[in-house]
Chain A
Amino acid sequence: EKVFHSRDHSDLQIPSSHQAELITDKETAELFLSRYGFIRPVNWDEVQFEETTGISNDEDFTGEEDFLSGIQEGDSSLSRAETDDEDDGEDEDSPNPTESQAFISALREFQKVSGLSVTGVFDDATKVAMNKPRCGVPDKETEMDATDDAHDSTNLQALLPLLLTDPPEPSPTTATDR
């Protein structure tokens, strides 16, 4: 049982082993951006497999997750399509030039949709936003998903204008009890 003392369980004590790993640095931030679709995953159709790929042999093959993460780490040298980077003229706080462009533009995209100032820099405000409780469903359908089934992306495009426009007339909602 999780230990608590007060009647409404508001002092519930969470064992540290059960704490989610926080986003603290660029590496964990990149994992966050990749997990929720801000960084496009590798487009496997563009990857050319030679006969012998020099991938580690069976003994190192410990399980699907590790196996694939092994590949994903190696693929940073692979070319990645640019995510659409609408630079809206914000003067940048000089993100580190050596960081990959994909990481910076993904960071800017996340900052933009989260209502943060779009700096392209992994700053404190971005760190706080990344550590907020959230849903596990990715935020962005990666381009590869969308193009695979044009029908879907068209529908989403059709949906977006509706989602982003205001209702035809102001509709004050009074929060009355149910």
Chain B
Amino acid sequence: PIRPPTTATDRPHQSPSTTATDRPHQHQSRLVSLLSKRRQKRHVRRHAWGNMAFSKMVLKWRLIGEGYSSQLTIQDQRHIIRLAFRMWSEVSPLEFVEDTLSPLEDVDIRLGFGTGRHLGCNQKFDGTGREFAHAWFLGDIHFDDDEHFTAPNTGSGISLLKVAVHEIGHVLGLPHIYRTGSIMQPSYLPQESGFEINWMDRKAIQHLYGGCKGQFNTVFDWIRKERTQYGEVVIRFNTYFMRDGWYWLYENRTNRTRYGDPVALQVGWHGIPTDGVDACVHVWNRNTDAVYFFKGTQYWEYDDGKDQVLTVDPEGHRYPRLISEGFPGVPSPIDTAFYDRRDSYIYFFKGTNVYAFDVTANSLAPGFPRKITAVFPAVVPGDHPGGNIDASYFSYTHNAVFLFKDAQFWRVAAAGRSRDRWRRPSLPHNGLMPHREVGEQWFDICNVHPSALKV
């Protein structure tokens, strides 16, 4: 296919496209020219699977107008393809945005349906059966419209979602992978319900584009009391990571975020600021079971039962309230905060200081504020976040407190008869263990393009 030259700058390993007008007339040189051009084309086709195909992280895509399928509504086609891109975005640092306006040469990934000789492509489709799609290293994806493509969970046929995820994988640089469960297997396997990108395919794409990194506004375990059918009260918790205006539920047992996350804050949390919060604190002891969201100089209490913020607190104060009123002595805005059930203190962090707030006495604990380095000393000298903590989190899964800053975290050494102290009795109280990368313990927490956030 003769395409306008795309700039080589944003695509490594790309050779210039060729044009048909430069064919010679003399027979012998024509042979050589055809073969060299053939080889050039093959060089273009000669992909380098296994390499990152794009050097930028936000990629534009378009389902081209002359390439709509005749079997699904245009809306369905775009929805399915948008979902396919989102699935890759949920497990990689890449973000995708549909672009229906820019000149075609500025669109990174162009998709289209066709049959037989199609869309100027030099690889003909073979009709129904066998080959159902192909992808070109420069970002073109063609689907054989003679195939019976179907939307997810609708009847037999070939799942357009699965095929689209596979071909997008190629365009991003993945080769065929012969591994059970891999979406990059060459042959189509009828879609089991709820197909998702598995662990190894995630690592394969991250091997090309890197893992997902970024700061978090807050991380917390949401505790719920539920009653079983036998009337027993059961305590359940879920882990949430929040960043700016969106959040993920993190499934600790399966080492991944919930499929389909991130989601816009207002979808799941009603009444809190839609552009993000500074902290979430769950004060849970014999007398109190209250969840607070902090943002700027204000805070809200969340009503678990009604799944929305409270408008008035038990004493009749209207929410949102000023932090300085509800938590005297605590400055605002804060960087983050967490509640420590061992001493019933809320630890508020701001800059290089930490403010322990005694919820029982409703005042700062004696001797506070103090330096974070004093309250949470480094176990390894020099290995300490210093200040401006992004998030602090007590994890019920790990039974430990974590301080997050940028893409790293520090675990607070456990107190009492813990493994930490058994191994190293000399550990300082609340000492910070050496830092690790967030991505080493909480996997694949990836952004999607704002346009892909469901509101």
Chain B residues with CB under 8 A of A44: 35, 39
From 154 to 177 in chain A, residues with beta carbon under 8 angstroms from any chain B beta carbon are 155-156, 158-159, 162-164, 167, 169, 171-177
Find chain B residues with CB under 8 A from A131 CB: 129-130
B127 touches A156 (CB 8 A): no
A137 and B204 in contact, given A10-B155, A152-B48, A173-B199 (Cβ under 8 angstroms):
no
Selecting from A11-19, A74-82, A97-105, the interface stretch reads: A11-19
A145 at the interface (CB under 8 A from B): yes
- The interface stretch among B104-112, B169-177, B277-285 is B169-177
Which chain A residues lie closer than 8 Å to B157 at the CB level?
A: 9-10, 12
| A156 CA / B43 CA spacing, docked (Å) | 17
Q: Closest residue of chain A to B152, judged by CB?
A: A178
Which residues from chain A contact B258 at a C-beta distance below 8 Å? 176
Residues on the B chain within 8 Å of A125, using CB: none
Segment of B132-140, B236-244, B319-327, B416-424 in the binding face: B132-140
* A21 to B450 alpha-carbon distance, docked (Å): 44
Tell me the dominant secondary structure on chain B's binding face.
loop
Interface centre among A44, A173, A175, A176 (most CB of B within 10 A): A173
| Interface presence of B397 (CB below 8 A) | no
A133 at the interface (CB under 8 A from B): yes
Assess the B187–A133 pair: CB atoms within 8 A.
Answer: yes
Known: A167-B203, A173-B198, A173-B254. A134 touches B50 (CB 8 A): no
Is A129 touching B260 in the complex (CB atoms < 8 A)? no
A159 & B50 in contact (Cβ 8 Å cutoff): yes
Report how far A22 CA is from B193 CA in the complex, Å. Answer: 29
Q: What are the residues of chain A within 8 A of B158 when measuring CB–CB?
A: 133
Verify A133–B194 contact, CB threshold 8 A.
no
- How far apart are the CA atoms of A10 and B17 in the complex, in Å? 41
Say whether B34 contacts A67, CB under 8 Å. yes
Q: Which of A9, A21, A49, A136 contacts B133 (CB 8 A)?
A: A136
A177 and B192 alpha carbons, distance in the complex (Å): 12
A88 CB → nearest B CB, Å: 15
Q: Is the CB of B176 within 8 A of A133?
A: no
Q: B50 touches which one: A18, A67, A156, A167 (CB < 8 A)?
A: A156
A57 to B27 CA separation, bound complex (whole angstroms): 9
Given A135-B131, A149-B13, A173-B199, A164 and B186 contact (CB-CB distance below 8 Å): no
Question: Which chain B residues border A91 with CB–CB below 8 Å?
Answer: none
B335 on the interface (CB 8 Å rule)? no
Whether the Cβ atoms of A175 and B193 lie closer than 8 Å is yes
**Minimum C-beta distance from A63 to chain B (A):** 11
In the complex, which residues 121-170 of chain B have their Cβ closer than 8 Å to any Cβ of chain A? 123, 125-135, 146-148, 150, 154-158, 163, 166-167, 170
Q: A58-B27, A155-B51, A176-B194 are in contact. Are A134 and B132 (CB under 8 A)?
A: yes
Is B55 interfacial (CB 8 A cutoff)? no
How many chain A residues touch B (CB < 8 A): the figure is 59
CB-CB contacts of A44-68 with B at 8 A, as 1s and 0s?
1000010001010110000010011
1/0 per residue, CB under 8 A from A, across B191-211: the answer is 011111011100110011000
A156 is contacted by which of B132, B154, B155, B175 (Cβ under 8 Å)?
Answer: B175
Q: How far is the CB of A1 from chain B (nearest CB, A)?
A: 8
The winner among A53, A167, A172 for most chain B CB atoms within 10 A is: A167
- Interface flag for B115 (CB, 8 Å): yes
B47 at interface, CB cutoff 8 A? yes
CB within 8 Å of A: which of B236-286?
251, 253-256, 258-260
Interchain nearest-CB distance for B440 vs A (Å): 10
Q: Are A149 and B48 in contact (CB under 8 A)?
A: yes
Does A3 sit at the interface, judged by CB under 8 A? no
CB–CB A156/B133 < 8 A? no
Chain A residues closer than 8 Å to B47, beta-carbon distance: 137, 141, 145
Chain B residues with Cβ below 8 Å from A172 are 253-254
A148 touches B186 (CB 8 A): no
* B194:A178 contact, CB within 8 angstroms: yes
Which residue of the partner chain A has the closest CB to B181?
Answer: A173
Tell me if B132 and A163 are in contact (CB < 8 A).
Answer: no
3 closest cross-chain pairs (CB), A and B: A136-B134, A152-B48, A156-B50
